[in-house]
């Protein structure tokens, strides 16, 4: 905690507040983009979230997806059925366990997620235009670190507010 306080003092409270507000704005922008993509594809935002997770961890099990999304096994099955029928996701047998399957994005699902990623890339490119390679590497490391810490915090139920 003392290290954290020293680090925060060196950054400055105003700068930290701007960073926090900026990250929240990215979160809101991401959500708005996912709503737009869901509308374009004729599916729900939870379906888009599922596609994003499966796209990040190719070969995820339905159980793992349900845990991440905090939905029941039956809800996962219905969602995967829906996404599979629309051509966005496929189930493939788990070679190590014939009772289990792995989830993968189909080419159409990959294309849909690339649409969203293209918007991220264009936004980043516009903001970073003229920045040095070193600055960009520092920003990338910063964002990756925050992302990983948020994922870790989300998976630690004892850290959640009561």
Q: Model confidence over 70-117: pLDDT tens digits?
A: 999 999 999 999 999 999 999 999 998 888 999 999 999 999 999 989
pLDDT at 141 over 60: yes
Task: Taking the CA atoms of 142, 145, 149 and 150 in sequence, report the sign of the dihedral they define.
Answer: positive
Does 79 fall in a domain? Answer: yes
Residue 109 lies in a domain: yes
Task: For residue 145, tell me if it sits in a domain.
Answer: no
pLDDT at 36 over 80: yes
What is the pLDDT at residue 47?
A: 96
**What is the per-residue pLDDT for 161?**
58
47 within some domain = yes
Q: Are 88 and 105 in contact (CB under 8 A)?
A: yes
Q: What is the pLDDT of residue 150?
A: 87
Q: For the chain, give the mean pLDDT.
A: 89
Residue 69 belongs to a domain: yes
CATH number at residue 68: 1.10.10.10
Asked whether residue 38 is assigned to any structural domain, the reply reads: yes
Tell me the mean pLDDT in the region 26-47: 93
Helix axes 62-69, 73-85, angle to 10 degrees: 110
- Provide the pLDDT for residue 87: 97
- For 94, the domain range is 19-128
| Number of compact structural domains in the chain | 1
Residue 141 forms part of a structural domain: no
Residue 149 forms part of a structural domain = no
């Amino acid at each position: 905690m003392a290290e954290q306080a020293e680090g925060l003092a060196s950054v400055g409270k105003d700068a930290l507040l701007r960073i926090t507000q900026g990250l929240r704005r990215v979160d809101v922008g991401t959500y708005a983009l996912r709503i737009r993509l869901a509308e374009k594809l004729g599916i729900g935002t939870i379906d888009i979230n599922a596609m994003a997770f499966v796209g990040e961890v190719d070969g995820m099990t339905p159980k793992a997806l349900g845990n991440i999304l905090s939905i029941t096994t039956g809800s996962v099955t219905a969602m995967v059925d829906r996404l599979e029928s629309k051509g966005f996701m496929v189930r493939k047998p788990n070679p190590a366990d014939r009772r289990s399957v792995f989830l993968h994005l189909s080419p159409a699902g990959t294309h849909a997620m690339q649409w969203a990623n293209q918007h991220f890339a264009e936004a980043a490119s516009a903001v970073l235009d003229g920045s040095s390679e070193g600055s960009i590497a520092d920003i990338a490391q910063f964002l990756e670190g925050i992302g990983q810490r948020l994922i870790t915090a989300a998976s630690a139920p004892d850290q959640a507010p009561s």
